[in-house]
A and B are shown apart, each in its own frame.
Chain A
Amino acid sequence: MNFDYSDEQTSLKREARRFLEARCPGAAVHELSNDGDRSYDRALWTGIAELGWLGAAIPESYGGSGIGYIELCAIAEELGRVLAPVPVASTLYFFVEALLRGGSPAQRSHWLPRAAAGRVIGCLATSEGPGGIGARPLAASVEGGRLTGVKIPVTDGDVADAAIVLAAEAGGPGLYIVELEQPTVKRERLASLDATRGIARLSFSAAPAERLGAPGEGRRLLEEVNYRAAVLLAFEQLGGADRCLEAARDYALQRYAFGRQVGANQAIKHRLADMYVKNELARSTAYYAAWALNTNATELPAAAAAARLAASDAFNFASRENIQIHGGMGFTREADAHLYFRRARQLSLVAGSLASWGESLVCALSRRFPRMEHSTAAEV
């Protein structure tokens, strides 16, 4: 048994960290966050593409290296650690995964080699307003290969070249691929809680749309994509949560008050211990989910949900308490802490609310342990 990264994966991870620390220092993320015109770092995106990271989980036949999902998880962890402002999640975890799960050979051949080379940015457009996609009937619709409707918010919709869009058709909801640079698509950039992850409102007026998979497969396909994306997102969250814990620990060691390091106080120590415990539990569930993703195991739905819930909890908590431990410094714009605080919330919402993931997990558990034959209300 080996429930850890292999030696090769560890050295890939180490290289990734070295590259990202050099090419994506905190100052660069701040600069981008303060720049109203840019929402991603184009040079970093190109650099990542040149290293071949974008093709890690794309098969060689479609222009990737196909080295595997564990490797992509390792990269995701490092991207999350530095808050890399690049549309990797939208492009790889959602757009590419949707094509890999539901795309025809022709659709894959068209899009995947370009995604692997960083020449296309993709995104996923499902939400139509507050409450998530289950909360209302689907308004976006497709007729005769033309898609009409409004999606809000679409993460990286401001910079993407193409979107996978959830829409209704006569045969049932489907996922459709739509090119965004055309007159039938209007995009409006929106204020994002995390300025290094841009969002847009996309409105489609009879935009040419190609369905992925058979009619009516959209929900199932979306569910599959979400499970897979949740695992990769969990690694970004884990990387971010670890960084928050380290930053808080370092600050608690450097800062003196009442004649000693603030980290000598149990109120601070126990808070840091709580962060550590959540991060370790999140790491364990994320590793297991990575295994399930890489081997396409039947455990994937429950494992992905557990990883998402644990990693969201860990990152939300660590980013929040990191600010608290930094004291007044923590809530200034100059400090990194708020960037992590914003990203943590963004990541825990982008693939659907935590409540919806909790619900999906309990559904999976109820299927695994169905009601027993003899089960009745207690007899008294």
Chain B
Amino acid sequence: MDFADSPEEAAYRERVRVWLDEHAPRHSVRGANCAPLAEAERLQAARAWQRQKASAGYARVTWPVEWGGGGGTAMQQAIFNQEELRYDVPRGFFGIGLGMCLPTLMKFADADTLRRFVGPALRGEEIWCQLFSEPSAGSDLAGVRTRAVRRGESEWCVNGQKTWTTGAHYADFGLLLARTDASVPKHAGLTMFWIDMKTPGIEVRPIHQMSGGSDFNEVYLSDVLVPDKQRLGGVGNGWKVSLVTLMNERAEGSKDRGPSTEQILELARSVPLGSGCVLDDSDFRQRLASWYVLGEGLRLTRLRTLTALSRGQTPGPESSIGKLVAANRLQELTGQLIDCQGEFGIVSGAPYALSGGSIHEDYLRAPGLRIAGGTDEILKNIIAERVLGLPGDIGVDKNVAFEDLPKGI
């Protein structure tokens, strides 16, 4: 049990710090009254920062140098991430492309395709999205209905609807999972393609979340023509390809969410109760203790994952506990932090809401977090089956042609 860097890790961290000091502004907490930047401005700033990182080999520390990566280890990537968090730099936008889509290309695309796409993605010039989920295929992703039908030898014609597509409205390219054969069981009839999001027939419509955000889209595909050379993996092999993408999703890991302990204490001190404040209430104190314990459990479990990485091990499905616990904890604690204010808790925004309304935002975000990226129920299945070795569910659909399966909404 040792939290210190090894000499090599310390040297790398120092190098990263020097570089960040030179190139990035120090982290500053934005005031509650400071209006957030519009998405277009954030995207522009993020592209500029990504370009700087790419030129120094920090855009993707673990990728080979010949592809513009840093040629480093997973531990070095983790160190860079830790250090970058201390600076006020633009975040987001490139995680799905660099963390999920490009690793899939690297495994299944030819050298020409990689030469074309890796550099621009790394430098933030092109953004990727993932066209997987559909209105009728969420947890049961292999049930996608979007059809790709061959048109001659060299082309496919795609019709269908995708949903929950993060960033489709600014993405340049996407990975598309489509059904190419409905006469075989569902997992066997899928094929993966990459597509240009500007191809005629693609329409992107934003989804408005209950929290007020709009991170996702519906994507309608009408007679979209996709050249066969944009196929990734064999015809009918799409499920295997999608697993590579999704495995990388879990490796991207979970981040801290919601108010810090300090913010919770501040809020509890500002709400009067009896002759004191909410922080004096013994029930509240016990709840605070349990939120803190869960938060520490999450933080320290990430350090254990990092230890596995530093030993060259691949973190297994056990890393899926992060999102499961974090989302439920956030839902519970934001609900209680609102409740403890009494009727005033209904006030949800500036200028009167406590914590500038961020607790209310988190409260309205939490239900979605329990669903996006694998529902609580699916994550528990994964833990039970892949970690604990329990049998899978009865697959009533495993040996039936997709077209013969009963379909609801």
Contacts and interface: CB of A to CB of B under 8 A. Distances in A.
| Physical interaction between A and B | yes
Interface of A: 1-5, 70, 245, 249, 252-253, 260-261, 263-264, 266, 268-270, 272-274, 276-277, 280-285, 287-288, 290-291, 294, 305-306, 309-310, 313, 355, 357-359, 361-362, 365-366, 369, 371-372, 375-378, 380
Contacts, number: 173
B297 A3 contact: no
B294 A281 contact: yes
Interface stretch (B47-55, B105-113, B208-216, B379-387): B379-387
B378 to A, nearest CB: 10
Contact of A273 (B262, B265, B383): B383
A276 B380 CA distance: 10
Contacts of A5: 1
Contact of A1 (B266, B307, B324, B385): B307
A273 B388 contact: yes
A227 to B, nearest CB: 15
B288 interface: yes
20 contacts: A1-B2, A2-B1, A3-B300, A3-B306, A4-B307, A263-B384, A266-B381, A272-B388, A273-B379, A273-B380, A276-B383, A277-B321, A277-B383, A283-B304, A287-B300, A306-B296, A358-B286, A365-B288, A372-B266, A380-B344
Nearest to B385: A269
B279 interface: yes
Interface in B245-283: 261-262, 265-266, 269-272, 277, 279, 282
A269 B390 contact: yes
Contacts of A287: 1, 300, 304
B85 interface: no
B327 interface: no
A35 B47 CA distance: 73
Contacts of B152: none
Nearest to A70: B1
Contacts of A2: 1-2, 307, 310
A3 B307 contact: yes
A266 B5 CA distance: 42
A264 to B, nearest CB: 4
6 closest A-B pairs by beta carbon, nearest first, are: A281-B297, A269-B384, A358-B289, A284-B300, A273-B380, A291-B1
The CB with the most chain A CB atoms within 10 A, among B9, B286, B385, B387, is that of B286
A270 B384 contact: yes
B409 interface: no
B35 interface: no
Interface of B: 1-6, 9, 261-262, 265-266, 269-272, 277, 279, 282, 285-286, 288-290, 292-294, 296-298, 300-301, 303-304, 306-307, 310, 318, 321, 324-325, 344, 352, 354, 377, 379-381, 383-385, 387-394
Given A3-B306, A4-B307, A276 B393 contact: no
Q: Report whether over half of chain B's contact residues are helix, strand or loop; otherwise say mixed.
A: helix
B388 A365 contact: no
A106 B344 CA distance: 62
Contact of A253 (B5, B269, B300, B389): B389
A375 B270 contact: yes
A366 B280 CA distance: 11
Given A285-B293, A362-B289, 16 more contacts: A1-B303, A3-B307, A249-B389, A263-B384, A268-B390, A273-B380, A276-B383, A276-B384, A287-B304, A288-B1, A291-B2, A355-B282, A359-B285, A362-B288, A378-B354, A380-B352
Contact of A306 (B272, B293, B307, B324): B293
Nearest to A380: B352
A269 B292 CA distance: 27
Q: Report whether over half of chain A's contact residues are helix, strand or loop; otherwise say mixed.
A: helix
A270 B142 CA distance: 22
A177 to B, nearest CB: 31
Contacts of A377: 270-272, 277
B280 to A, nearest CB: 10
Contact of B285 (A253, A282, A362, A371): A362
A306 B300 CA distance: 11
The CB with the most chain A CB atoms within 10 A, among B297, B318, B377, B381, is that of B297
A287 B3 CA distance: 11
A272 B306 CA distance: 25
B113 to A, nearest CB: 37
B1 A290 contact: yes
B391 A1 contact: no
Nearest to B321: A277
Given A1-B6, A2-B310, A294-B1, A272 B296 contact: no
Contact of B310 (A1, A282, A294): A1
Nearest to A297: B3
A67 to B, nearest CB: 14
B258 to A, nearest CB: 16
B296 A288 contact: yes
Contacts of A355: 282, 286
Contacts of B6: 1
A309 B294 CA distance: 10
A266 B3 contact: no
A369 B267 CA distance: 12
A360 B2 CA distance: 26
B324 A277 contact: yes
A380 B345 CA distance: 13
A365 B292 contact: yes
A376 B277 CA distance: 11
B303 A252 contact: no
A358 B288 CA distance: 8
B251 to A, nearest CB: 17
A3 B303 contact: yes
B287 to A, nearest CB: 9
